[in-house]
Amino acid sequence: MNTPKKILVCVTQQKTCERLIKKAAKLKDSPEDELFVIHVAKNEWNFLDNIKEGEALEYLFDISKTVGANLTVLRSDSIVKTISDFVHDNRINYVILGESPNDHKENKFAEELKSQTKNVEIIVIPQQEF
């Protein structure tokens, strides 16, 4: 018997992250597989006062529910550490990320996350699939 997959999707406050959630849902092979969706906001980000960002998170929450996942929103100034702690605490074995836009290629988010999470497959979904 196979061990159930535990898949984590990392989202920003953009509706385009819907594709990441749907892509992750396709990785589920059995009803025992679990899907988690997480958004980590820096402490100084006030997304609840920003109508567009609040709407986007509500939209992603609804999409998450349709694929049987819960959307967790956490606050932290150390986004990579917060996600790696979540991965460890929930025994995640797959992490789905969206590729950074071309103007953010210096952002080494995926590499930092890989260095802090062992025995986890990190899947970066290319920008053109958005």
Q: What is the predicted pLDDT for the residue at 130?
A: 46
Q: Are 12 and 39 in contact (CB under 8 A)?
A: yes
Digit-coded pLDDT (tens) for 36-90: 999 998 877 665 556 677 788 889 999 999 999 989 999 899 999 999 999 999 9
pTM metric for this prediction = 0.88
Q: Which CATH architecture has domain 6-129?
A: 3-Layer(aba) Sandwich (3.40)
Q: How do residues 13-43 score in pLDDT, each as one tens digit?
A: 888 899 999 999 999 999 999 999 999 988 7
Structure confidence at residue 108 (pLDDT)? 82
> What is the 3-state secondary structure of the chain?
CCCCCEEEEECCCCHHHHHHHHHHHCCCCCCCCEEEEEEEECCCCCCCCCHHHHHHHHHHHHHHHHCCCEEEEEECCCHHHHHHHHHHHCCCCEEEEECCCHHHCCCCHHHHHHHHCCCCEEEEECHHHC
Question: Over the stretch 87-118, which tens digit does the pLDDT of each residue have?
Answer: 999 999 999 999 876 655 556 888 899 999 98
